Amino acid sequence: MATHKFTDYIEEPAITRIRRWSYHTVRQACIRNDLYTCGDCEAYDKMLNMADRTEPTTKAMYLVAKDIQEHSKDQTITNVMFILEREAVLTTFEINGSDEI
């Protein structure tokens, strides 16, 4: 007797994951978590603008998190990356080119 999986019966659509962050979402994550308290306004603005100009790839997230960690008290880069992923990155999905929202 042949066994079939549920996935054998459905056609898999083209699914695209879109990840975004912005100046404002990174700023809000910093405020909520008491981050970047040891930096000046110019350095803070430079970091936020860098985040705003990039997509939240692993490399970009590391660079932003490293900058935040260097200007924060008692933080590790991986913890800041976790905070950014959880609070600053917005993930949406498109199915067959439509977001259906």
**From CA 27, how far away is CA 88, in angstroms rounded?**
8
Ordered per-residue pLDDT tens for the chain, 101 residues: 666 676 666 788 889 999 999 999 999 999 999 999 999 999 999 999 999 999 999 999 999 999 999 999 999 999 999 999 999 999 999 998 777 75
Q: How many CB atoms neighbour CB 100 within 10 A?
A: 7
Q: What is the DSSP string of 25-93?
A: HHHHHHHHTT-STTS-HHHHHHHHHHHHHS---HHHHHHHHHHHHHTSSS--HHHHHHHHHHHT-EEEE
The two most distant CA atoms of the chain are separated, in Å, by: 69
The pTM score is 0.82
